[in-house]
Copies of this chain bind each other. A is one copy, B any other.
């Protein structure tokens, strides 16, 4: 029952598109509306009629659903550049709600204008498929994580994902600031400020346990409290705990035994 090393796995997608979604929508004459959300403001709820698609320009938001017991599951965070509300393409009502974690700016596109174009313009189809696939990869990953990992692993992974996505989105830090200018990725790294409740609801843990687990990571010297949030102090160490493989969900180890059905 050994580990089989697959071919080298590439980070980049086959379908890299040069234009951003925003550009594409503009080029194709889809009308846009700017809008702002204040912290904690809800853009739409589960069950609201779905008639718009959005792109986040600034700020940090998230998509959520509610369990019947009233508890909240955060399905995914949205960073600047992310597409939001794609459910509107295939459904009449949103299945998830969407709200702002920090004050945010979005652009809204009417979905009917969108659908009339999106299947005709190859570029748009492509960006859609690509984007939904990416979302799906993140979701799948999170599913595996929530189903099989310990609290420390989940949290470590979550912090790394936050960092990676924020960097991709061009944020130097998360609703916050960089610790000391000039540092890159050595001991003291990235600074994160986010309520424990958000971590808990994303990873399916209780707030209390998130607090305890963060304390443990702190004791282990992996993260530290800064004046404006927590910082990743030992990036390699945290990556080891989280079994980090990069933002893309590629595996660098694959089990090669016969798979019992």
* A residues apposed to B, CB below 8 Å: 1, 4, 6-7, 9-10, 13-15, 39-40, 42, 45-49, 64-73, 75, 86-87, 89-93, 95-97, 99-102, 115, 118-120, 122-123, 125-126, 128-130, 132-137, 139-140, 142-144, 146-149, 195, 197-198, 203-204, 243, 249-251, 253-256, 258-261
Contacts and interface: CB of A to CB of B under 8 A. Distances in A.
Contacts of A203: 147
B258 A42 contact: yes
* The 8 A-B residue pairs with the shortest CB-CB distance in the complex, in nearest-first order: A6-B47, A147-B204, A125-B125, A119-B122, A40-B261, A47-B254, A46-B254, A119-B125
30 contacts: A6-B48, A9-B47, A9-B93, A10-B92, A14-B90, A14-B92, A40-B258, A40-B260, A45-B254, A45-B256, A46-B251, A46-B255, A47-B250, A47-B251, A66-B251, A69-B148, A72-B259, A87-B133, A89-B129, A89-B133, A97-B254, A99-B261, A102-B261, A119-B125, A119-B126, A120-B122, A125-B125, A142-B143, A146-B147, A198-B261
A61 to B, nearest CB: 9
Contacts of A13: 90-91
Given A90-B130, A256-B45, A259-B40, A75 B147 contact: no
Given A6-B48, A65-B144, A133 B40 contact: no
Nearest to A121: B119
Nearest to A250: B95
| Count of identical protomers in the assembly | 2
A94 B252 CA distance: 12
Contacts of A254: 45-47, 66, 97
Contact of A64 (B142, B258, B259): B259
A75 B143 contact: yes
A41 to B, nearest CB: 9
